[in-house]
Amino acid sequence: MGLYPLKFTPIYKEKIWGGRSLERLFGRRLPPGAKVGESWNLADLAEGASAVSNGPLEGTTLTELTAREGANLLGAARPLDNGRFPLLLKLLDANDILSLQVHPDERAAAEIPGAALKTECWTILESRGGFIYKGVCPGVTAEQFRHAIETDTVEQYVRRIECRDGDFHYLPAGLVHAIGPGLVVAEVQTPSDTTYRVTDWGRGREIHVERSMQCIRFELTGDEPPGAAGETLLVTPYFTVARRIARAGSPAVLPPGRCIAVMLLNGEAEIIHSGQDEAIVPAGAGDTVLFPAELQFADLNPRRDCTYLEITLPEGA
């Protein structure tokens, strides 16, 4: 069976800091009464694997597709060592502040049983007076920061940044961070759910002092350059992110022969493609579409002006 642009059923994660903004902004049908903090739009983890929601492959998981289709799906990119798809794409709704947290880099992940590297970036879709914490203040030592965790004063030692709609932030593994209340975020990350809480602002959940101190890289300031320019926002060894604008009546052509994920941030479009089924795939704000590498062409034809993230994988890695 030939591949085509794939949409997936969102996996919703209820969080104590979550809300209902995905319902308001994107018309999502959320679980009744749930505080939804995360929508996993494209995921291949043990904690949740996305299932195709369109066309003849409906119900097939991303795990199954990656194993079965190989290079037809990924092109010259490679799955993870465990055979899973090498991206995790989310929408986050922070109705309250998230824990101040840190994720392991490759070195820490190798040292901690069961841990997996987690590097990510955020695009702010809506800021209702929101802010983030991003990085330890310059000059703060590990000893000072450990004492701050133990005395519940870490807020004094991290950088607070006010956020506006459209802001972009790179959060490499090892950087302390938190999303503040009033933000809706599109998140691109390596496929890992390994998180260590530095503080949870008195809400009573477990704090991971030793693991946090093992993972924090105090040389990271939060000002690390993303290694990109123009429409390309970020280049990492794990993924590249570009922000594109497509105007109504002017189709955007996606590069052929590569596995590409598109997160539509606003607008509405039809996708015309060379796949064997569904010559046109509709997409709206909040949707994520995965374009298999075997497609000979795929055009994103905006019915209204669109802004979207184009996420590509490194080839041969």
Give the active site residues.
197
Q: Indicate the SS3 state at residue 189.
A: strand
Annotate 110-125 with b (16+ C-beta within 10 A) or e (fewer): eeeeebbbbbbbbbbb
Provide, for the chain, the percentages of residues in helix, strand and coil under a 3-state DSSP scheme, each rounded to the nearest 5. Answer: 15, 40, 45
Q: What is the dihedral of CA 100, 122, 78, 272, to 10 degrees?
A: 150
Signed CA dihedral, 249, 286, 76, 71: sign only: negative
Helices (H), 181-302: 209-215
Please state, in angstroms and as integers, the Cα–Cα distance from residue 180 to each residue in 125, 149, 220, following that order. Answer: 14, 19, 20
Tokens of 44: 């291949």
In the chain, the N- to C-terminal Cα span, in Å, equals 26
Closest Cα to residue 299, out of 260, 273, 269, 267? 273
